Structure 1
Amino acid sequence: MNRQTLPIIDLSSLVTENSSHRQETLLSLGRAARDIGFFYLRNHGLSRQLLSDVQRVSRQFFSLPLSEKEAVSMINSPHFRGYNRSGVEVTRGQHDYREQFDIGAERPAITNSRSPAWSRMQGPNQWPQALPELRQQLTVWQQHMTLVALQLLRALAESLSLPAESFDELYGDYPNEHVKLIRYPGRNLSQSRQGVGAHKDSGFLTLLLQDEQSGLQVEVEDGEWWDIPPIEDTFVVNIGELLELATNGYLRATVHRVVSPPQDKERLSIAFFLGAQLDAVVPLYPLPPTLAQLARGPASDPDNPMRREVGWNYLKGRLRSHPEVAARFYRDYLVNRGEE
């Protein structure tokens, strides 16, 4: 691996049983997930047509009149689903200049008033009436991305000398799968360039489809940021907090951010987050001694500590990022916690 260059992992070598490169690729995967927490994924099995279709329909959504997009605004959803205009989401107390559309697994809302606050995150999506193709394309996309992410998650378990199915119990029957369409508008030099502020992702894995516009940066060491340029027909993959917790910090959930494009440009990203079942609790998995001695412990931000209870870990992130939704649908929970 050259300086400031992410490794490229070939998924086809991991899922082909008779591949002569499988063990070598497993070693490369384990090193990338530990040393940087980010890598490119190629030969993932998704067609160029599917990649093109999901980008096309995403651009069509963002081109809709503002009234059509705000008809499915996230402020209407206790499940944190729907549209946010640029500047609404907050990271580390600062506004993110990106507009976005979020969906999750399509499930009925939990209406039991005795259920924990995090259970409110489960529920139906909102879909724009003016673009019915969006639901069709994103449903197909979510299904394909889930299969790719699970293949990768099981390969990661093997790279840790664990059984391939080790993380399946956490994933469960009702996992928190999440798709986010993101458009970063151009910003001039006198404006904030925070497309999205520095953060870690909370799930197992994130798979990101970039367009041709750069902007993603990864903090490989304190204060040392690498640019992660787009590479055609690849995803950028990063490790989430669940895997950092599960391996006592052997695997690395790395801080990253997006810098806004120049004023005459824009950037389109499509992120898929593979998460765990909301009622799961993350155990500490027994790694071989040779790996366990290299575990650094979870690197938790004291202002945003990680929790092993999956639902609570997800909820705290959503509440911090979406204060308007928090104030509308979670005020009782915030009051009880003394946060309002």
Structure 2
Amino acid sequence: MTTLEDSAPLPLLDLRDFADPATRAPFVARLREAAHGAGFFYLRGHGLTEREQAELLRQSRAFFALPRAVKQALHMANSPHFRGYTAAGDEITRGARDWREQLDIGAERAPLPESGAADAAWRRLQGPNQWPAELPTLRPCLLDWQQRLTEVGLTLLRALALALEQPEARLAAAFEGAPVQHLKIIRYPGRQPGDSDQGVGPHKDSGCLTLLLQDRQGGLQVQREPGAAWSEVPPLPGSLVVNLGEVLEILSDGFLRATRHRVVSPPAGVDRLSVAFFLGPRLDAQLPALPLPPALAARARGIEQDPLNPLLDHAGRNFLKGRLRSHPEVARAFYADVTALG
């Protein structure tokens, strides 16, 4: 049984230090240790103003305040691309229902043609979003946030390549053209006494990087090692929370490890808003391990072997297996032909 403990704050990094030649090397060194250790850190200097952050949260709250019928008309079960609205209790993590409602979007791209190959169902992940006509300001706000965080994420990937003693552009090829851009606005309703406190259950993120904006209500917790105590990640005004996904664990043979995390529901009478952006390689990218220098390779922990969550070295297939498990309605409607992902 795991417990919750108070822990030292996560590392706080400032992305402006990477742009300054005088502070670049210390920034890369701190990033290496943060990414190898906690796998989570706070990030400032990302270029998104407090006014822009407040507007994003305002737009998110306006969406969740729409009538239930309006939101349900955008239900994710309409979309083979896993885009749209999910009501509280409709998403599954580790076999249990998550008590949160959310809207998922991605890059506005045309669907990929079907290839006919039995293991290419991941091609269905690309496609258009669903938007509420009743809130026309939401679309430009979310798409702008998504694009700007893509640039922040790509900058961090250059820094992570240097942290792994690779050429700065080493990771860029897998993101050229059409990287996975996945954004979700999320509301966690307050729980009543006796209800489950699973806002979202323990999981790893399947992509490469996650950049999270939290409102003032806490609830995010991390587990640095399997079976360890859970640690709080409280909101830090002006900052984003960054965590590593499974792609980086695969590429680095576990030197960088995707960290398991969860969200505990707020108490009755309180809700929690967050906006999560997930950056991943192109869906067709294969993910061979990087040749780490001996000093780093000696610290690599290997890929965590979890029978409930096998890590796959193909970006699209790795992303799809998590989506299918989390959204059974979409799986039944559009992926009945998918019987295995290995």
Q: Aligning the two structures, in what range does the TM-score lie when normalised by the shorter sequence?
A: over 0.9
Do 1:74 and 1:80's aligned partners in 2 also have CA atoms closer than 8 Å? yes
Q: Distance in 2 between matches of 1:303 and 1:143?
A: 32
Partner residue in 2 for 1:249? 254
> For residues 138 and 286 of structure 2, what CA distance do their matches in structure 1 show?
34
Match of 1:304 among 303, 309, 327: 309
Amino acid at match of 1:260: S
- TM-score, normalization: structure 1? 0.96
Kept in 1: contact 2:219–2:233 (CA 8 A) = yes
* Alignment match of 2:114 (pick from 112, 115, 140): 112
* 2:139 aligned partner: 135
**Once the 2 structures are TM-superposed, how far is the Cα of residue 113 of structure 1 from its aligned partner?**
5.3
Shift of 1:287: 1.1
1:181-210 deviation digits (Å, cap 9, x = unpaired): 000000023000000000000111000000
Q: Which residue of 1 aligns with 2:96?
A: 94
Tell me the secondary structure at the aligned position of residue 236 of structure 1: strand
Greater Cα shift, 36-45 or 166-175: 166-175
1:190 and 1:3, CA in 2 relative to 1: closer, same or farther beyond 3 A? closer
Aligned sequence identity (%): 53
Q: CA deviation at 1:24?
A: 1.2
Match of 1:45 in 2: 47
Q: What amino acid sits opposite 2:224 in the alignment?
A: V
1:15–1:151 Cα contact (<8 Å) kept: no
> In structure 2, do the counterparts of structure 1 residues 197 and 289 end up closer, same or farther at CA, with 3 Å as the change threshold?
same
Find the aligned partners of 1:181 and 1:247 in 2 and give their Cα distance: 30
Q: Deviations over 1:157-202 (max 9, x none)?
A: 1111111111111113111110010000000230000000000001
Q: Matches of 2:74 and 2:67 in 1, distance apart?
A: 12
Paired residue for 1:325?
Answer: 330
> 2:3 corresponds to which residue?
none
Residue aligning to 2:212: 208
Q: Which residue of 2 aligns with 1:29?
A: 31
Counting only pairs closer than 5 Å after superposition, residues 1-340 of structure 1 correspond to structure 2 as 3-16=7-20, 18=21, 20-112=22-114, 114=116, 116-221=120-225, 222-334=227-339, 337=340
Of 178-187 and 48-57, more deviation after overlay is shown by 48-57
Asked if structure 2 preserves the Cα contact closer than 8 Å seen for 1:206 and 1:271, the reply is: yes
Amino acid at match of 1:317: G
Deviations 1:295-332 (A, max 9, x none): 00011311210000111111110000000100011112
Q: Which runs of 5+ in 1 are unaligned?
A: none
Following the alignment from structure 2 to structure 1, what is the Cα–Cα distance between the partners of residues 54 and 89? 27
- Residue 256 of structure 1 aligns to a residue whose secondary structure is strand
Distance 1:50 1:80 in 2: 27
Partner of 1:112, secondary structure, is: coil
DSSP-derived class of the 1:176 partner:
strand
Structure 1 window deviating more from structure 2 (152-161 vs 31-40): it is: 152-161
Stretches of structure 2 that go unaligned for 5 or more consecutive residues are 1-5
The DSSP-based 3-state class of the residue aligned with 2:337 is: helix
Cα contact 1:4–1:227 (8 A) shared by 2: no
Query: For residue 316 of structure 1, what is the amino acid of its counterpart?
Result: K
1:228-250 C-alpha deviation (Å, 9 max, x unpaired): 00000000000100000000000
Cα distance in 2, alignment partners of residues 300 and 142 from structure 1? 32
Taking the aligned partners of 1:114 and 1:137, their CA distance within structure 2 comes to: 36
Post-superposition shift, 1:45? Answer: 1.0
Check conservation: 2:114, 2:123, Cα contact below 8 A.
Answer: no
SS of the residue 2:153 aligns to? helix
Is the CA contact (8 Å cut-off) linking 1:108 and 1:124 kept in structure 2?
yes
TM-score, normalised with respect to structure 2: 0.95
